Amino acid sequence: MRNLLLKSIAGLLALIGILGILLFGIAWTFDFWRAWIYLCIFGASSTLITIYLWKKDSKLLERRVNAGPTAEREISQKIIQLLASIAFIGIFILASFDHRNSWSHVPSYLTILGDMLVIIGFYIVFLVFKENTFAAATIEIAKNQKVISTGPYLVVRHPMYSGAFILLLGTPLALGTWWAFIPCLLLIFVIILRLLEEEKFLLKNLNGYKKYYNKVYYRIVPYVW
């Protein structure tokens, strides 16, 4: 259990460190208040969720630790995860260049809105983790896995992606950049491809998912899609 927590925290610190290097290193300055606030929100939210899972659902934490292209079994998902990783990094690279060269002029109130969206996105992801112990980072069926149809799953079939999309759309605003919306929207498109593949997998392999699929109509956004 302790090793799992240490591995999780180490991975989180590595991620925050990489994001910090991308933001401050490329911008070539620490005078980037938007980045400081964003990293604090991102780090604090991720840490709180990690500690919660360590105390309440270590199995889910273990499932979430094993993530990324190498953790996937299908070649198509490896490619999708690789593209997602590249697009995610691209958001921060463009935000850093934007800050360095003053390409965008994003009002402070939109930055605050972006930070709020990031917090809301993390909160929705937390609700998903709280409700669904099978929310692994890879597409697979766990032993004794069952369909979850309570909590946020009553509203949409993929609430974790809903939270992730809110978080992602808030990130460029939080970092004060318009240009970073390009890789952000690309990342959302890649995640949608993953979502559709995941649905096909669940319909084929998870008992009871077809009934749930027919009951809950919307994937990400209620009354839209």
Which tokens in the block code for residue 115?
A: 């930070």
What are the tokens at 90? 């691209």
* 39: CATH: 1.20.120.1630
Classify residue 147: in a domain, yes or no. Answer: yes
Q: Rounded to an integer, what distance in angstroms lies between the CA atom of residue 51 and that of residue 61?
A: 9
Total domains in the chain come to: 1
Residue found by looking up tokens 């609700």 in the block:
127
183 lies in a domain?
A: yes
Query: Where do we find the tokens 């992730």?
Result: 164
Q: Residue 196 is part of which domain span?
A: 2-215
Q: Establish if 223 belongs to a structural domain.
A: no
Q: What's the mean per-residue pLDDT of the chain?
A: 91
pLDDT bracket for residue 76 (50, 70, 90): confident
Distance of CA 215 to the CA centre of its chain: 26
Q: Residue 107 domain-assigned?
A: yes
- CA 39 to the chain's CA centroid: 14
Whether 140 contacts 74, CB under 8 Å: no
1 has a pLDDT exceeding 80? no
Residue 72: the pLDDT is 67
Q: Is residue 98 part of a domain?
A: yes
| Whether the Cβ atoms of residue 135 and residue 164 lie closer than 8 Å to each other | no
Give the SS3 label for residue 148: coil
State the pLDDT at residue 68: 61
123: nearest Cα among 46, 13, 54: 46
| Cβ-proximal residues to 14 (8 Å cutoff; 6+ apart), any chain | none
As a whole number of angstroms, the distance between CA 164 and CA 184 comes to 11
* 150-192 pLDDT per residue, tens: 999 999 999 999 999 999 999 999 999 999 999 999 999 999 9
**Is 222 among the domain residues?**
no
- The residue written with tokens 């105390």 in the block is 55
